[in-house]
Amino acid sequence: MPATPSQQGVDAVSERTQNRAQKSERRLAAQLAAQKAAEAKRRRQAWAGGLAGVAVVAVLITVFVTIGQNDDDSKEQAAGTPSASATAPAADAPPAPQLPAGADPALGTKPTVAAGKGELKKLTVTPLIKGTGPAVQKGQTITTNYVGVFYKDGKEFDSSWNAGQPASFAIGVGQVIPGWDQGLVGVTVGSRVQLDIPAELAYGNDPSSGRPTGPLRFVVDVLAAQ
């Protein structure tokens, strides 16, 4: 029995309703699939970011470990290598004096000077090392190393050794104390002599002068004369 027009209309409406429902289901399914895909992408990005962070941390740890090892190696090398100060002379150490040809090597070392004995009444010149050079003449400029001490107690008050270089001056013309002018003329170059000088031939006995007073003892090395 063929359908009536009213039934055909109902069937058409039912079919359209069914088609819309199917389309809605498909859209919903597509939206759910898109959401799942987005969530999966976010998870992959999060994992990738986490792995990248772990990689950065690993690189930093490797760098720190390498730097620490290099520092330890440097410290070990420094500990095993003698310092420059241990192998080289100190920068402020006085240079060795230039000795005349054929001079006694002892002139390269500062002498130890002791106190005198008894009362000193006159200038006394005592040769300690005999030089082989020419004799010092009045008016020449001589180069010397010397140590000066108080005759009575041996306390040092002056020394060219402490200054780090020899002293040069004219001899026999009043540039130095009379005890030197008188005691060093005639001494041969390369000699070491001891001068025991009474106060009147040194700086006198007046302490207000600021100079060493009383009898003095000098040990003088004559290094050159010209």
Residue spans of alpha helices (H) in the chain = 5-80, 84-87, 160-163, 178-184
Length of the chain: 226
Q: Which of 142, 196, 197, 218 is catalytic?
A: 218
Query: Could you confirm whether 64 is annotated as catalytic?
Result: no
Query: Any catalytic annotation for residue 129?
Result: no
Of 196, 197, 203, 221, which residue is the catalytic one?
203
Catalytic residue among 104, 129, 150, 158: 158
Beta-carbon contacts of residue 39 (< 8 Å; ≥ 6 apart): none
| 151 has catalytic annotation | no
177 tagged catalytic: yes
Active-site residue, selected from the candidate residues 142, 146, 151, 197? 146
Q: Which of 71, 73, 153, 157 is catalytic?
A: 157
Catalytic, out of 177, 196, 197, 221: 177
Question: Which residues, at least 6 apart from 99, have a Cβ–Cβ distance to it below 8 Å?
Answer: 105, 107, 108, 190, 223
Provide the β-strand partners of residue 167: 144
- Residue 100 token pair: 């005349």
Number of CB atoms found within 10 A of residue 213's CB? 16
- Please say whether the beta carbons of 167 and 192 come within 8 A: no
User: Is 157 an active-site residue?
Assistant: yes
Q: Which residues are catalytic?
A: 146, 157-158, 177, 203, 218
